[in-house]
A and B are shown apart, each in its own frame.
Chain A
Amino acid sequence: MSEQQTTSTTRRDVMKLALTGAAGAMLAGPAGLRAATTPRRKVATAKSVIQIWMWGGPSHLDTFDPKPGTGHDYCGPLDKPIKTNVDGVMIGQLLPMLAKQADKYAIIRSMTHGINAHETASYLVQTGHEPGRQVFPCIGAAVSLLKGFDHGYKGLVPPYIVLTRPQGRFSEAGFLGPKYKPFATGGDPNRDPFAVEGIVAKGITDQRQRARRKLLGSLDALGKAMPNNADFRQFDQCQGKAYDLMFGDARKLFDLTQEKDQTREAYGRNTFGQSCLMARRLVEHGVPYVTINYTGWDTHKQHFEIMNRKLPEMDRGMATLLSDLSDRGLLDSTIVWWSGEFGRGPKVQWNPPWNGGRSHYGACFSAVLAGGGFQGGRVVGASNKYGTEVAERPVYPQNLLGSIYERLGIDPDGPLPNKRGLNVKIMPNSDKDKGRLTEIM
């Protein structure tokens, strides 16, 4: 008996030593060891991510974690949540279209980090790090590095796209450098034309663009004088590629008039809805990471009026995105991640100056994950009766981000390549507390 035990321990020790000894071949070792103990398959299931960033922090009680029966103090007028097409799961009454798609997504009701400041929380949720000496890249930038041009991406447009305004330094490339910053389109996809920065110039007709390009060509005195200069040849190449973006297929990619009117109506004729449609087109094209920065959720005042106005818009856009991705066979390879930097205070602030608002709430909030190999129709974790605390299975940003990386086929414990010589993992502590979202993977 003891002999057998000694033998098996020795063998495992030897394996461990051999694997850690081969530190240079980093990824093979620890992953192999873990596979022996975890039955979950570590296979890449997703090719792209659409991040619906609920800028400002959306109320979790009024969206995916309703608390009926807690009264006016907590629910306000939104006290009749609705059933979904998944038994036993209810969501907010202003999301009827999403209620019919609940089989496609998993709701995480136990997100937590305890931070109530916008900037710090935005940074933490999108990078998995607390502020410190180094500025870490957000997951979009990391995916842009690991799945971008250096790794076989051949799309017409950059691999990391933001619709439409970037958030700036709280969700950017950090120390990875400006090469991995997102391409923010600017403009408004609900307008025709969608004035994508650098691709569609407002107020300049196509005819004029082409005419002045010819003018530029005819005025290139220095270039003509030095035809063999290598830098100049590279210059011309780049300029040619830039024009390809402006006139070619990249332009068509951003042209939403290529979609049927019916489709555009289904997503909703507003900036968010059309951004969801644009995101679908981008992942169809193969873009690995798209962020939709959906603003206006910081509802300290007029919370319920704003929910009445915005939730139906969010409902339509997001529900149509999920069903459209599914219909086109893209949902299995596209992760859709819905979240903000935190939730909102479960106890409504009826007193002045708020007069019916909700505060910042980072102790307990919700996130939603769909597609890309995440199981739909599920709920992960739970909050307490009032939604003020995590009751079961806390989920930290590191756990969630680590799960997304894993589904993309990126090992969160692998090294993050960088030019600073920093020895960091892609997502340190992704196993924090209860670990990654294995329940839905």
Chain B
Amino acid sequence: MFGRPSRDTGMHTERNNKTSQAQQLHLLNSSSVQDKINKSWRLRNLYRYARGNQNRMIDMVYVTILSRPPTPAERNAAGKYFRVKGIGTRNGTIDLAWALINTKEFLYRH
């Protein structure tokens, strides 16, 4: 993953921080990543705890994944997503977590 050499060679020159289409596909859409998000006890607790208060939930997902609170614009964008037709609070939380895991900030900084 992520431009790293295979474990048994450890060749330094093979390191680069470039992503590849295959990695992106895995992060965006693989069943293993999606399962991990769906089954995450942490997210489930978060959802149960903050269910009544959407803003609070958004804040907590941000802090959990990116170790920072969202900016007002980000909170806004996330809130809008929850109101999209067919996306409930539960799926909204899952998808927010999914999105944050796929941002450059998460992948390059965490």
Contacts and interface: CB of A to CB of B under 8 A. Distances in A.
Nearest to A199: B29
B31 interface: yes
B28 A215 contact: no
Contacts of B107: 235
Contact of A221 (B23, B24, B74, B102): B74
A274 B78 CA distance: 41
B63 to A, nearest CB: 15
B86 A212 contact: no
Contacts of B6: 177-178
Interface string B1-45: 000001001010010011111111110111100100000000000
B27 to A, nearest CB: 8
A422 to B, nearest CB: 12
Interface string A200-215: 0110110111011001
Interface string B66-108: 0000010010011001001011000100011011101111011
Contacts of A234: 18-19
A198 B30 contact: yes
B104 A220 contact: yes
Interface string A246-262: 10000000000000000
B95 A219 contact: no
A186 B18 CA distance: 26
A223 interface: yes
Contacts of B87: 208, 211
A291 B84 CA distance: 42
Nearest to A420: B9
B21 to A, nearest CB: 4
Contacts of A198: 25-26, 28-30
A243 B28 contact: yes
A222 to B, nearest CB: 4
B21 A241 contact: yes
A223 B103 contact: yes
B21 A216 contact: no
A197 interface: yes
B34 A204 contact: yes
Contacts of A419: 9, 11, 14
Contacts, number: 101
B21 A208 contact: no
A31 interface: no
Contacts of B99: 212, 215-216, 219
Contact of B78 (A197, A199, A219, A246): A219
Contacts of A235: 19, 24, 104, 107
A232 B104 contact: yes
Contacts of A158: 22
Given A211-B81, A243-B28, A238 B19 contact: yes
Contacts of B103: 216, 219-223
A246 B95 CA distance: 17
A223 B81 contact: no
B30 A212 contact: no
Contact of B95 (A215, A239, A243): A215
A132 to B, nearest CB: 15
A204 B37 CA distance: 13
Given A211-B81, A215-B81, A246 B21 contact: no
Contacts of B78: 215, 219
A242 interface: yes
Given A197-B31, A219-B74, A222-B109, A207 B95 contact: no
20 contacts: A183-B22, A198-B26, A207-B86, A208-B95, A211-B87, A215-B99, A216-B99, A219-B77, A222-B104, A222-B105, A222-B109, A232-B104, A234-B19, A238-B19, A238-B21, A238-B23, A239-B19, A239-B24, A246-B25, A419-B11
Given A201-B31, A201-B34, A238-B21, 15 more contacts: A177-B6, A208-B86, A208-B91, A218-B77, A219-B100, A219-B103, A220-B104, A232-B104, A235-B24, A238-B20, A238-B23, A239-B102, A241-B24, A242-B24, A246-B29
Interface of B: 6, 9, 11, 14, 17-26, 28-31, 34, 71, 74, 77-78, 81, 84, 86-87, 91, 95-96, 98-100, 102-105, 107-109
The 7 closest A-B pairs by CB, nearest first: A242-B24, A222-B105, A198-B25, A242-B25, A218-B77, A216-B99, A212-B95
